[in-house]
Amino acid sequence: MIVIDGSYGEGGGQILRTSIALSAITGEPVKIINIRANRPNPGLRPQHLHGIIALKELSNAKVKGAQVGSKELTFIPGKIKAKNINVNIRTAGSITLVLQALLPAMAFADGRIKFRITGGTDVPWSPPVDYMRNVTLFALKKLGINGEIVIERRGHYPKGGGIVRGFIDPWEEKRELVAIEYTQIDKVEGISHATNLPAHVAERQAKAAKEVLETLGIPIDIRTEVSRSLGPGSGIVVWAETDCLRLGGDALGKKGKPAEVVGKEAAKELLDQLKTGACVDKFLGDQLIPFLAFSGGKIKVAEITKHLITNVWVVEQFLGKVFEVKGDISNPGIVEVVRRVEL
């Protein structure tokens, strides 16, 4: 049994998500100790718990310690089988963080996995669902993974109630990803949304983002979306399509924060990623790590984050030496697969 120290590196829920996913993929039992020990409210939170329960169902696993607040967890996986997964977080806990746990494991099933998750679609400290749909899935398709994410309803903090469904097909052809520096930006797209708020909120966010991004001198198409849900909220995700991958930027609205500030924030974040010349933005880098171990490849990230370094560490606890990371934390760098893993 592999023992993972959950306080390593940035010490957050990502250690848990990647560990349980790799346990399910490899069939190797895992014990995680000191779960989220570095956080103000340590131990399992609801979104982590629901990710674990979903992976338990997906891989027919035996689990000990799966309760909110638990600081230790044992996961003994069975086989990953094609099935429908239904997860209800019951709070505004992040749907995309649950998906981060599920995505790698779903790709190793023996047939299509369909999922439906209820919770928060656009909440602080996690990727917005539009980013995962349009940036993460775009990159995974380059690796040979076919999937879909559909938003049925938005869900914001604190009420949640968002609904996301989709599927992931078995990962049959594992394609190496070489994505170092882009040579051209083809276009910028985006989605600006307002839920239980006036339409002008979404429109002002989009307009402000477009004004900032017009300096790129390329086509920009940011569409607006107005919807109803359990509570109010707004946000915007913008992404640039280059000749290698897509890079993204995002921002969330909140009470008292002008829509123009939200739009500019997302646009400036995207420009910050683009100015490094890297093919992979700082948000996508750590998400790709578990997949790259099996596909092989070499990427340049706009920023080497603590999340990325931590994810590399977790993967190598299961699979041995896989990666070479060149560069310093908080700076652009190269991540290269030096030993591709075959299962």
Q: For this structure, is 307 an active site residue? A: yes
Separation of alpha carbons 331 and 316, rounded Å: 22
Burial of 254 (0-12, 13-18, 19+ CB in 10 A): middle
**Amino acid at the residue 154:** R
Q: Decide if pLDDT at 37 tops 90.
A: no
Burial 83-106 (b: 16+ CB within 10 A, else e): eebebebebbbbbbbbbbbbbbbb
Return the percentage of the chain with pLDDT > 70, whole number.
100
CA 184 to chain CA mean position, Å: 25
pTM, two decimals, is: 0.96
CB 234 within 8 A of CB 197: yes
What is the pLDDT confidence band of residue 79, given thresholds at 50, 70 and 90? very high
What is the pLDDT confidence band of residue 11, given thresholds at 50, 70 and 90? confident
Q: Tell me the binding residues for ATP.
A: 100, 283-287
- pLDDT score of 9: 85
Q: Where is pLDDT greater, at 91 or 154?
A: 154
Across the chain, what does the average pLDDT equal?
A: 96
Tell me how far apart the 2 most distant CA atoms of the chain are, in Å: 55
Q: What is the mean pLDDT of residues 67-84?
A: 95
- pLDDT score of 126: 94
Burial of 221 (0-12, 13-18, 19+ CB in 10 A): exposed
Could you tell me the residue ranges of all domains in the chain? 2-178+280-337, 182-274
Separation of alpha carbons 233 and 177, rounded Å: 36
| Each residue's pLDDT tens digit, 122-156 | 999 999 999 999 999 999 999 999 999 999 999 99
List the catalytic residue out of 48, 50, 156, 307: 307
Region 182-274: CATH code: 3.30.360.20
Q: Decide if pLDDT at 63 tops 80.
A: yes
Region 2-178+280-337: CATH code: 3.65.10.20
- pLDDT score of 10: 80
| Nearest Cα to Cα of residue 310 among 87, 17, 57 | 17
Q: What is the mean pLDDT of residues 32-59?
A: 90
Long-range contacts: 211-216, Cβ < 8 Å, 24+? Answer: 211/264, 211/267, 212/263, 212/264, 212/267, 212/268, 212/271, 213/188, 213/238, 213/267, 213/270, 213/271, 215/271, 216/185, 216/188, 216/240, 216/271, 216/274
CB atoms within 10 A of CB 245: 23
CB 2 within 8 A of CB 318: yes
Burial 198-213 (b: 16+ CB within 10 A, else e): eeebbbbbbbbbbebb
Q: Decide if pLDDT at 97 tops 90.
A: yes
What is the pLDDT confidence band of residue 252, given thresholds at 50, 70 and 90? very high
Cis peptide bond prior to 124, omega within 30° of 0:
no
- pLDDT score of 47: 75
CB 46 within 8 A of CB 19: no
- Looking at 38-52, 226-240, 284-298, which range is the least confident one? 38-52
Separation of alpha carbons 336 and 343, rounded Å: 19
